[in-house]
Amino acid sequence: MTSVERIHNDGESFYTFPLKVYFLSHTEEEEDMLVISVPKRLFKRAVKRNLIRRRIRESVRLGRSAFPGCAGKHILMVYTHSAVLEYDRICESVRSALGKIR
């Protein structure tokens, strides 16, 4: 079983528009992991998938230090909305999601 499958199957999850978030605590010797998934069935063109992925990654990078509950966790974020949202809306959702992780 890959680590992504383990996060999905064994981890806790919640939904914050437009993200479905899965997280799982890990042991001391493992590093934190962030996986961002943008389904190909929603966005056929890689350009749009990569744009969304970059926006989410940057939001996490800027907001992660404000949420110490994220330390020691593997996090999987799945983008579920069928349209590309503005950076500000995605950033707000990511901050809300990081705040919910305990």
Q: What does the chain come to in residues?
A: 102
- In 3D, which of 92, 96, 95, 78 has the Cα closest to residue 39? 78
* β-bridge partners, 79: 19
The domain spans of the chain are 3-100
CB 32 within 8 A of CB 74: yes
pLDDT at 27: 79
* pLDDT mean across residues, the chain: 93
What percentage of the chain carries pLDDT values higher than 70?
100
pTM here is 0.91
Going by their DSSP bridges, the two strands 12-16 and 73-79 should be labelled as unpaired
Task: Tell me the C-alpha distance between 64 and 88, whole Å.
Answer: 16
For the cut 80, the answer to whether the pLDDT of residue 45 exceeds it is yes
Task: Tell me the C-alpha distance between 99 and 50, whole Å.
Answer: 24
For the cut 90, the answer to whether the pLDDT of residue 34 exceeds it is yes
Q: Which fold has domain 3-100?
A: Ribosomal Protein S5; domain 2 (3.30.230)
- In 3D, which of 1, 9, 17 has the Cα closest to residue 76? 9
Q: Would you place residue 42 in the very low, low, confident or very high pLDDT band (cuts 50, 70, 90)?
A: very high
For the cut 80, the answer to whether the pLDDT of residue 69 exceeds it is no
The pLDDT tens digits for 13-22 are 999 999 999 9
